[in-house]
């Protein structure tokens, strides 16, 4: 049953991301967004950790690292130690769509989330500036 709850959330999130990606002019990225979350190497640890309260933290962290390094819309994909590469605009757009999709699926507010979390996210200066200029513009509740 927990796998159905997980899949329901993933597809709800993907729907919101797809709609936003279409609005941002990157529909293909909206279609393929987060497909890796359906791989057993990501799905099983996520379901066990978040929904069942079981599974090892190490398995969950490994799954999260795999996800971040498989998907170019994550800032960690573009970071290696102290080196941060600017994200191409299409992946900035997908990252923004991802955040919007997550807050809509969970019923949160992106602008509040950004204020609380922006200092924890490693981004190149151009990427950060682009996000700050576009979050309010593209996020409309």
Integer Cα distance of 15 and 89 in angstroms: 21
Is residue 88 pLDDT above 80, yes or no? yes
Q: DSSP 3-state assignment of 80? A: strand
| Stretch among 9-23, 41-55, 98-112 having the lowest mean pLDDT | 41-55
What are the structure tokens assigned to 82, written together? 């102290």
Contact call for residues 138 and 20 (beta carbons, < 8 A): yes
Residue with tokens 């919101």: 16
Q: DSSP 3-state assignment of 88? A: coil
Is residue 54 pLDDT above 90, yes or no? no
Percent of the chain surpassing pLDDT 90 = 70
pLDDT value for 111: 86
Integer Cα distance of 110 and 115 in angstroms: 9
pLDDT value for 19: 96
Q: Of all helices (H) and strands (E), which one includes residue 84?
A: strand 83-84
Query: What are the backbone angles phi and psi of residue 85, rounded to the nearest 5°?
Result: -100, 140
Average pLDDT over residues 17-44: 96
Integer Cα distance of 131 and 60 in angstroms: 28
Integer Cα distance of 59 and 82 in angstroms: 25
| Stretch among 5-9, 56-60, 62-66, 126-130 having the lowest mean pLDDT | 56-60
């Amino acid at each position: 049953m927990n796998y159905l709850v997980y899949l329901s959330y993933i597809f709800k999130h993907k729907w919101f991301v797809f709609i936003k990606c279409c609005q941002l002019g990157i529909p293909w990225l909206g279609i393929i967004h987060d497909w890796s979350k359906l791989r057993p190497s990501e799905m099983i640890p996520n379901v066990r950790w978040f929904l069942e309260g079981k599974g090892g933290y190490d398995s969950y962290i490994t799954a999260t690292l795999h996800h971040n390094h498989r998907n170019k819309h994550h800032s960690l994909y573009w970071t290696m130690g102290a080196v941060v590469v600017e994200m191409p605009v299409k992946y900035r757009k997908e990252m923004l769509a991802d955040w919007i999709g997550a807050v809509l699926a969970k019923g949160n507010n992106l602008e509040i989330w950004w204020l609380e979390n922006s200092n924890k996210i490693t981004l190149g200066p151009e990427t950060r500036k682009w996000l700050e200029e576009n979050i309010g513009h593209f996020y409309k509740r």
